[in-house]
Structure 1
Amino acid sequence: MKVPVKVDGRRLTLSNLDKVLYPETGFTKAEVIDYYTRIAPVLLPHLRDRPLTVKRYPNGVDDGFFFEKNAPQHSPSWLRVVTLPVPGSTKNRETIDFAVIEDLPSLAYYANLAALELHVPQWKVGENGKPLPPDLLVLDLDPGPPATIVDCCRVAVLLREALAADGLTAWPKTSGNKGMQLYAAWDNRVEPSHYARELAQRLEKEHPRQVVSVMTKKLRPGKVFIDWSQNNPAKTTVAPYSLRARPQPTVSTPLLWTEVEDCESPDELVFTAPDALARVEQHGDLFGQA
């Protein structure tokens, strides 16, 4: 069944609204669209001017998915699209036409495509569609079992102190999966991947029982991997307030530092779509706030 709607004056056709995309909880496509519509005021600022990569799950999280960088061929004319070079593309493409989500109609359009996960780089494009220097630094904390997000929290506090010593203020968020990320506004003092790698290596040297700075799986059990490589301009990280394709509709959720400091159980930092909306109602947008 197709439903024509108007969103902020833009015409959209929504489809299959009763399709269950999260079978464990019965969360439907209609609820996905509703979530993204309601979270839009705090989500859109973190997507604006950033080329979008999505993970689409047309038949739900228990079925197959695909990454999509190119804006769909039949995108509406009002969707902002920027053409960017992609050197070293695995599909031998010289350029990709990326969508840039600027407004609620664009967000609703992608939600209707079952684009559950929204991923963006740590840099923006200018009004001319050309890439700008990175404006964010990200450190992705990935726990190697039996380590959990509780261990990530301990490492996050260490990183917060190290970043503060370099004049950088860290903002934490859950990944919506099993780990978390720290971000900081970046001033391009040096190349961000170089800085992040040196920082991760320093933490590994100072805390060898807690931290690992290389991806080698055999080194990671029981430790937190600080993935500095997410600062590579070709890479993306899940956006704040994006849904994740987990059994439940979990969200990559900005945190209070007190929640990080006090965390004693992984369950304390699992937030679903309704939880995320309630937190925004209570706290506003925590992401990027000192």
Structure 2
Amino acid sequence: MSEKRTYGKTEVELSNLDKVFFPDSGFTKGDLVDYYEKIADIMLPHIEGRPLTMIRFPNGIEDKRFFQKDAPDYFPEWIEKRSFDKKEGGSTNYVICNDQATLVYLANQACVTPHIWLSRQDQPDKPDRMIFDLDPSKKGFDAVKEAAFSIRELLVEELGLPVFLMTTGSRGLHLVVPLKRDHSFDEVREFAQQASKYLEQKYPETMTTAARKEKREDRLFLDVARNASAQTSVAPYAVRPIEGAPVATPIDWVELKKPDLSAQSYTIKNIFRRLGSKDDPWKDIEKHKVNLSEAKKKLEKLIEKTSEDT
């Protein structure tokens, strides 16, 4: 099944809409396209201006996937693209998804899950997001919730930072700090690493910064590796390649207390019911951007005090 849809002045040709992408759930490529068409107004403010990596599943989520950074030559001219030099030489021509037509086109290209940079194309070396990725152990999502509130105590109450939450749609949770573009990636990553090390020392039984799984035991992994140039993170409201089509969903701190909340609570089938009764919790995230300088001083004092006490 194929058809053409028009968004503003742009016509998008859609194909194979009846191909099943989520076999157990029965969701088709058409369902994926419809979802991204409908979520566009809410999702676009969180991804526009950011280089995008496509995770594509041409034959559905149970078949081969591939990560694609470079926009293929056959992508239409109306899709915005930006070329960035690679350290090893050459360049990569990234998609910049600024409109509904592009988002729908990518879904039609079997891009189930778009990932985005933590910086924007106009200042690629200056991140405007800092992410703490909470990767659970075997203990599951309850341990993630507990850790999130402990991390909130440090970041919000002691360091004075705004922290926004997002279920990943997979297993964990992202804690996101919106930043003024005053810092380099190295500075942001160093801060995130220092904060994570401090948390690891404060909660040694439940949190770890060990990258190797065999060293984590049953502790939650504090992953801050995404805070680096050209690294990506799952986009807010992106669909994950998991049966049921769960969605990476911004939530607020009150929701995190709900006993039945999981990383996969929201899907392409129930997300709009949620958004019909509740605004996007990240709607005003841009109004809360901060400089890290004061928080860095406070963190260094906490680390120094901890060293003295031990």
Deviations along 1:76-97, whole A, 9 cap, x unmatched? 1111000011214xxxx52100
Query: Shift in Å at residue 161 of structure 1?
Result: 1.8
Structure 2: gaps spanning 5 or more residues = 289-310
Map of 1:107-146 to 2, 5 A cutoff? 107-126=103-122, 131-145=124-138
| 1:284 equivalent among 265, 275, 279 | 279
Contact 1:150/1:265 (<8 A) preserved: no
Counterpart Cα distance in 1 of 2:279 and 2:64: 34
Deviations 1:152-208 (A, max 9, x none): 111111111211122211111111001110101123457111011111111010001
Q: Matched residues in 1 for 2:263 and 2:90: separation?
A: 44
Determine the C-alpha separation between the residues in 2 that align with 1:77 and 1:69. 17
1:51 corresponds in structure 2 to 51
Spell out, residue by residue over 1:189-236, the C-alpha distance to the aligned partner (whole angstroms, 9 max, x if none): 571110111111110100011100121111223211010111011210
Regions of 4+ moved over 6 Å: none
Moved more, 73-82 or 163-172: 163-172
Q: Please state how far the C-alpha of 1:264 moved relative to its aligned partner.
A: 3.4
Match of 1:180 in 2: 173
For residues 58-115 of structure 1, give each alpha carbon's deviation from its aligned partner in whole angstroms, at most 9, with x where no partner exists. 1111111000101121111111000011214xxxx52100000000111111010110
Matches within 5 A, 1:55-204: 55-88=55-88, 93-126=89-122, 131-145=124-138, 147-164=139-156, 165-187=158-180, 188=182, 191-204=187-200
**Which amino acid in structure 2 is aligned with residue 184 of structure 1?**
V
- Aligned with 1:206 (options 202, 209, 216): 202
Could you tell me the TM-score, scaled by structure 1's length? 0.92
Bigger radius of gyration among the two: 2
- Deviation per CA, 1:223-267: give whole Å up to 9, x if none: 11010111011210001100000012000011121121x243564
Which letter does structure 2 place at the counterpart of 1:109?
Y
Report the 3-state secondary structure (helix = DSSP H, G, I; strand = E; otherwise coil) of the residue aligned with 1:254.
Answer: strand
Cα pair 1:242 1:251 within 8 Å, conserved: yes
Count the aligned residue pairs: 281
Q: Note if contact 2:141-2:262 (Cα within 8 Å) is conserved in structure 1.
A: no
Q: Which runs of no fewer than 5 residues in structure 1 stay unpaired?
A: none
Q: Which of the residues 239, 264, 270 maps onto 1:275?
A: 270
CA contact (8 A) 1:142 1:224 kept: yes
Query: C-alpha distance in 2, partners of 1:45/1:81?
Result: 17
| Contact kept in structure 1, 2:247 and 2:264, CA below 8 Å | no
Counterpart residue identity of residue 124, structure 2:
P
Distance 1:275 1:230 in 2: 29
Give percent identity, aligned residues only. 31
2:232 corresponds to: 236
Q: 1:5: how far off? A: 2.5
Give me the TM-score of the superposition, normalised by structure 2. Answer: 0.86
2:215 to 202, 212, 219: 219
* CA displacement at 1:2 relative to structure 2: 3.1
Structure 2 CA distance, aligned partners of 1:52 and 1:83? 12
Whether the 8 Å CA contact 1:7–1:104 is kept in 2: the answer is: yes
Instruction: Kindly indicate whether the alpha-carbon contact (under 8 Å) linking 1:148 and 1:266 is maintained by their aligned counterparts in 2.
Output: no
The 1-side partners of 2:280 and 2:255 are apart by 15
Deviations 1:100-155 (A, max 9, x none): 000011111101011000101110012xxx5251111111000121x212111111
